[in-house]
Amino acid sequence: MKKNYLLLVLFALTSSFLKAQCPVGQVQVTITVTTDDWGYEGYWQLVPMGNSCGTGTIFSGGNALVGCSGGGLQLATSGGYANNTQIIEGPWCLTQGSYFDILYVDDYGDGGASFTVNINGYPVYSGLTGTGNGTGSHITFLAEPASTLDLMCKKITTPSYVNPGNVNVAGVIFNNGTDTITSMDLNYSINSGSIITGNITGLHLAPFTSLSVIHPNSWTTSVNGQYQLKMWASNMNGMSDLNSTNDTATSVVNVGPAIPNLIDDYIGITPILTVIGNATDGIASPRDLDFHPVLTRNELWVVLESTEAIGGKTVKFTNAGQPGQTSLLQQDGNAWHFMSLPTGIAFSDNENFCTSPGVYDANHNGGTPFTGPSLWSSNPLIYAQPSGGNGSHIDMLHQSPYSMGVCSEAENVFWIFDGNAGEVVRYDYVNDHGPGNSDHSDGIIRRFSGLNLLAESTHHVSSHLILDKENGMLYIVDTGHDRIVRMDIHSGTFLSNLTPYEPTAEYSNWGSTINNVFADSGLTTPSGIDLIGNRLIVSDYSTGDIIIYDRSASIGVELGRISTGTPGIMGVKIGPDGKIWYVNATTNQVIRIDGITNDLTAINPNESISVYPNPVSANLFVKTNSLKGSALLFIYDMTGKLIRSERIASTERSVQVNVEALQSGVYTIEVIDSNSTFRKRFVKN
């Protein structure tokens, strides 16, 4: 402790001494340079704003062989800065209130290094990047010290598409000042209406650190539509913010109809299979699918395996399954690395998506398994468009060879099935590095061991996973063991820090999670998975079946199977319409399963019945709109065997039926009067 204390004192004295060297009217500036895997490629100069490279140079750093005009010329093969290193240059005394340029030139012309400008010891500008093309990128900063109280709302993390009801208003705030924040008011408004304020205390938000926050008062909405959400902080430590220019973040939130839960209506039916896409649309070896999170767009993305040499592809269906449907086949320019043999695709709440690579080494040289999931923008102006030499990806983290599936947790946060280690890994990209760049230093990677998972031996059949975001239960298709495993993502203990292949904010190992086998019978080669309410669906690659489970308890109860008749199903998804959609890698098709309705009527479509609660444990209530005279009520099991019958008087509109003695399973209730026959399925727990 004494040694650390002395070092701390020396650092403080040194910092004070350095600051004291700057006369009045000037500030002390240092610049931290963070290199990537090719540190030698960068060269930069610090000059007054507007100066060209070599004019009025205050400092130059990096590889002089690249020089002022070597952007993209590949003039150097060594020298300059080391790889994956942080270098602190300076200090300099610069005129307070003046602007300066960092002129960055990159030997490959694709960026790579990032810069943090520290003013009077605080990182006032961080993560500054440039492409370094041609004669270089101009990165401008103002030599002005940080305010004492400056709290900015960096972004709103409430999803862009939500269901009616109580909506959490969430975001990320950043302490851009030099005082630690211990309390604040968090505010929001909808469509510039009434301001909703909540006080948050007990904070310890240090200078130049961020915090994810949820407003104490949720937003209650019942009307579908598009809304503008504003969020800002105020009253920090009981005082006013000294910089009002960065206080407010805004976001457009779409409130739309919830996905209807139609899964029980699939039980016992003969499916109608509607082909949504095939080879005509470019569908070849599809492995997964996902809908854009703004469900009203009805935009379906399908990821294709393709070949290791050229990388995977995507097909985007607009107005999927509707009149006027169109398809767009796309491939990123560097898909050979960033989307190599993709096994899965999953959208984040912020409309970015992640793909998981099914290869051991994304560099394809048989060496270090430098492989992991990639983050992409769904913006058509960014995805698969030219962006330097690194394609259009907006982030990548390289710690999971044979990534066999992916699902989303939150904004830029995903879970991966690591088929190489037989583990699940949580990837938090935090902030993306922008199209074609390569700064991964803010990434947080947590590896969860002890689940005993196994990928399919050829690494062709995907092992998908899905997260129940409300309760934190992660369902994992353990394809190699023919089972489904469930894990509580809020459980687990830290075991150790690990050494990453590249600099990251965190790479750690976790264990002792709460987990169990959810289902391990009747599965041959499970692959796809999705959930809605208390229902879970799983596709079987070998049989072509889709199995429906009740997930009310920790152990799944199989309720029924949909036989498609064709093996090869991988990814499966419950669409915005509540219907089941899937991809078949054998037939090269995208399929929607049709042939279901909410209320099954045989004669009079204007009459129906409802049953509740469903599922039921004891008393089932059967409600009819109207009856023509007295009626008969029948209950059948899944084999069609009559279990019970009774008469309903014409005056009865709600009938209570005790089903406590029935075995767990799916049943059909039928009501027949003199004019109509009505049927409805229910589940007995």
Q: Are 396 and 375 in contact (CB under 8 A)?
A: yes
Q: Confidence class of residue 10 from pLDDT cuts 50, 70 and 90?
A: very low
Q: Are 81 and 32 in contact (CB under 8 A)?
A: no
Q: How far is Cα 565 from Cα 537, in angstroms, rounded to an integer?
A: 17
Q: Confidence class of residue 485 from pLDDT cuts 50, 70 and 90?
A: very high
pTM, entire model: 0.75
Q: Confidence class of residue 262 from pLDDT cuts 50, 70 and 90?
A: confident
Give 238's contacts (C-beta < 8 A, 6+ positions apart).
183
Q: Confidence class of residue 384 from pLDDT cuts 50, 70 and 90?
A: very high
Residue 588 is encoded by which pair of tokens?
């090269």
Beta-bridge partner residues of 286: 304
Q: What share of the chain is helix, strand, coil (3-state, %, to 5)?
A: 5, 45, 45
Q: How far is Cα 616 from Cα 639, in angstroms, rounded to an integer?
A: 20
Q: Which residue has the tokens 């799944």?
A: 556
Q: Among residues 516, 515, 525, which one has the least CA distance to residue 480?
A: 525
Residue 266 is encoded by which pair of tokens?
């699939």
Q: Are 465 and 502 in contact (CB under 8 A)?
A: no
Q: How far is Cα 68 from Cα 79, in angstroms, rounded to an integer?
A: 16
Q: Which residue has the tokens 């938000």?
A: 205
Q: Confidence class of residue 625 from pLDDT cuts 50, 70 and 90?
A: low
Q: How far is Cα 21 from Cα 19, in angstroms, rounded to an integer?
A: 5
Q: Is the pLDDT of residue 598 over 50?
A: no
Q: Which residue has the tokens 């130049």?
A: 208
Mean pLDDT of 610-614: 80
Q: How far is Cα 64 from Cα 457, in angstroms, rounded to an integer?
A: 50
Q: How far is Cα 112 from Cα 335, in angstroms, rounded to an integer?
A: 19
Mean pLDDT of 669-676: 78
Give 262's contacts (C-beta < 8 A, 6+ positions apart).
578, 579, 596, 598
DSSP state of 13: H
Q: How far is Cα 612 from Cα 599, in angstroms, rounded to an integer?
A: 13
At 136-177, the pLDDT tens digits run 899 999 999 999 999 999 999 898 888 888 999 999 999 999
Q: Is the pLDDT of residue 408 over 90?
A: yes
Mean pLDDT of 273-279: 96
**Secondary element (H or E) of residue 140:** strand 137-142
Q: How far is Cα 391 from Cα 355, in angstroms, rounded to an integer?
A: 14
Would you list the DSSP string of 370-403? Answer: ----EEEE--TTTTTS-BTBSTT--EE----SSE
Q: How far is Cα 553 from Cα 293, in angstroms, rounded to an integer?
A: 28
How crowded is residue 210: how many other Cβ atoms within 10 Å of its Cβ? 16
Residue 115 is encoded by which pair of tokens?
């810069």
DSSP state of 266: G
Exposure string for 610-636, b = 16+ CB within 10 A, e = fewer: ebeeebbeeebebebeebeeebebbbb
Q: How far is Cα 673 from Cα 678, in angstroms, rounded to an integer?
A: 9
Residue 358, Cα to own-chain centre: how many angstroms?
19
DSSP state of 481: G
Mean pLDDT of 444-471: 96
Q: Among residues 623, 606, 607, 609, which one has the least CA distance to residue 657?
A: 623
Strands 374-377 and 352-357: antiparallel
Percent with pLDDT over 70 in the chain:
93
**Secondary element (H or E) of residue 360:** none
Q: Is the pLDDT of residue 590 over 90?
A: yes
What's the pLDDT score for residue 288? 98
Residue type, 229: L
What's the pLDDT score for residue 116? 95
What's the pLDDT score for residue 84? 86
Which class for 563: exposed (0-12), middle (13-18), buried (19 or more C-beta within 10 A)?
exposed
Q: Give the phi and the psi of residue 530 in degrees, each rounded to 5.
A: -160, 170
Query: What is the rounded radius of gyration, in angstroms, for the C-alpha atoms of the chain?
Result: 29
Q: How far is Cα 288 from Cα 228, in angstroms, rounded to an integer?
A: 33
